[in-house]
C-alpha cells in the first residue's frame, strides 16, 4: 500500500525508513514495527518537543561549559546550529533518525551533545549495524585520549565537559549488553529508540483514525510513560 501523501513528504524516503525499521526489528529493538503513518506521527512528536520542550535538546544540567572560547561561543544554541550542520552532526529533515545510516549516526553522537542518557536512542540505532559500535568506541576514545585539532574541535562542539568520556563509557557498556538506563528511562521516548518506536506503534494507524483521535482529545505529543507491550 502506498504511504499517505504527508508521510511521503515528511519521511522523504519511505523505503529507506522501512528498511531501517526491518533492520531494527531483526536486531530486537522493536517487536512490532510501527507503520509509516505512525512514524509520521512520531516526527510530529519530535517537532512538538523542539517547539515546547527545547530545554531537553542540546543542554546539560549536570556538567559545566568547557572553558575554551569556542565552547563558550557555541553554548549559544543559535550559534551552535550552523556548526552542527556544517559538521553533519544534525540532520534537521530526519528528526526520527530512521533515514540516517551509520556514518550519520556516528557524526551525530560525536558532535551533538546529548544530556544524561539521551544518546542511548542513537546507540540502539547504531547497534543494528554490525561492527559500528566497535568503530564508535575507537572514534570516541580518540577524542578522549587525543589532542589533535579534530579532537579539540569535537570537544568544543559538544560544549559541555565530560561528554565524550560518558559516551565512551556508554558504548563500552552497550557492547556488553548494558544500555545503562533504569526502568523509567527505558520507557522514555526521549531517551531510548525502543520506547520511541513503541510510542509510535500505539498511535492511530491511518490519517482518518488520527483525525478522529484528535477530535476526541486523544492525540497527544506531550511526554508520558508508555506500556512496555504494544496491544494487539
Enter the DSSP assignment of 160: B
Tell me the HSE value of 80 on the side-chain side, using a 13 A CA sphere.
25
In a domain, 23, yes or no: no
3-state secondary structure string, 134-175? HHHHHHHHHHHHCCCHHHHHHHHHCCECCHHHHHHHHHHHHH
Give residue 63's pLDDT. 92
Which candidate, 156, 50, 175, 70, places its Cα nearest to that of 113? 156
Extract the C-alpha cell encoding 22.
526491518
Q: What is the pLDDT along the chain (232 residues), one digit of tens a residue?
A: 789 999 999 999 999 999 999 999 999 999 899 999 999 999 999 999 999 999 999 998 889 999 999 999 999 999 999 999 999 999 999 999 999 999 999 999 999 999 999 999 999 999 999 999 999 999 999 999 999 999 999 999 999 999 999 999 999 999 999 999 999 999 999 999 999 999 999 999 999 999 999 999 889 998 764 444 444 3
Extract the C-alpha cell encoding 142.
580518540
Give residue 39's pLDDT. 98
Cα 9 from chain centroid (whole Å):
20
Which candidate, 192, 186, 11, 200, places its Cα nearest to that of 91? 11
In a domain, 153, yes or no: yes
Max CA distance (Å), the chain:
57
Residue 182's alpha-carbon distances to 120, 178, 192, in angstroms, are 12, 11, 11
Give residue 163's pLDDT. 97
In a domain, 43, yes or no: no
Give residue 40's pLDDT. 98
Give residue 62's pLDDT. 86
Number of domains forming the structure of the chain: 1
Give residue 222's pLDDT. 82
Give residue 196's pLDDT. 97
Separation CA 128–CA 107 (nearest Å): 16
**Owning domain of residue 153:** 55-192
Answer whether 106's CB lies under 8 Å from 132's CB.
yes
In a domain, 184, yes or no: yes
In a domain, 34, yes or no: no
Q: In sequence order, which residues have a C-beta less than 8 Å from that of residue 71 and are 6 or more positions away?
A: 65, 155, 156, 159, 160
In a domain, 216, yes or no: no
Give residue 223's pLDDT. 78
What are the DSSP calls for 86-123, one per residue? HHT---TT-TTSTT--HHHHHHHHHHS---TTTTHHHH
Tell me the HSE value of 66 on the side-chain side, using a 13 A CA sphere.
20
In a domain, 14, yes or no: no
Separation CA 84–CA 79 (nearest Å): 9
Separation CA 9–CA 93 (nearest Å): 10
Separation CA 202–CA 36 (nearest Å): 13
- 54-69 burial string, b = 16+ CB within 10 Å, else e? eeebbebeeeeebeee
Give residue 2's pLDDT. 87
In a domain, 126, yes or no: yes
Amino acid at each position: 500500500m502506498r504511504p499517505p501523501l504527508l508521510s511521503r513528504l515528511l519521511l522523504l524516503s519511505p523505503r529507506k525508513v522501512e528498511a531501517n525499521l526491518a533492520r531494527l526489528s531483526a536486531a530486537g529493538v522493536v517487536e512490532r514495527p510501527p507503520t509509516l503513518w505512525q512514524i509520521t506521527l512520531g516526527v510530529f512528536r519530535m517537532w512538538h518537543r523542539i517547539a515546547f520542550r527545547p530545554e531537553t535538546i542540546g543542554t546539560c544540567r549536570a556538567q559545566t561549559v568547557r572553558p575554551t572560547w569556542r565552547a563558550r561561543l557555541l553554548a549559544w544554541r543559535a550559534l551552535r546550529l550552523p556548526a552542527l550542520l556544517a559538521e553533519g552532526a544534525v540532520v534537521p529533515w530526519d528528526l526520527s533518525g530512521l533515514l540516517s545510516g551509520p556514518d550519520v549516526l556516528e557524526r551525530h553522537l560525536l558532535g551533538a551533545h546529548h544530556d544524561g542518557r539521551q544518546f542511548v536512542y542513537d546507540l540502539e540505532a547504531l547497534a543494528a549495524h554490525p561492527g559500528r559500535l566497535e568503530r564508535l568506541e575507537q572514534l570516541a576514545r580518540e577524542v578522549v585520549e587525543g589532542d589533535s585539532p579534530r579532537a579539540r574541535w569535537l570537544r568544543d562542539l559538544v560544549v559541555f565537559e565530560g561528554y565524550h568520556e560518558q559516551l565512551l563509557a556508554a558504548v563500552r557498556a552497550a557492547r556488553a549488553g548494558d544500555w545503562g538506563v533504569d526502568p523509567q528511562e527505558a520507557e522514555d521516548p526521549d531517551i531510548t529508540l525502543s520506547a520511541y518506536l513503541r510510542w509510535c506503534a500505539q498511535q492511530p494507524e491511518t490519517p482518518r483514525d488520527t483525525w478522529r483521535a484528535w477530535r476526541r482529545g486523544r492525540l497527544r505529543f506531550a511526554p508520558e510513560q508508555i506500556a512496555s507491550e504494544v496491544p494487539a
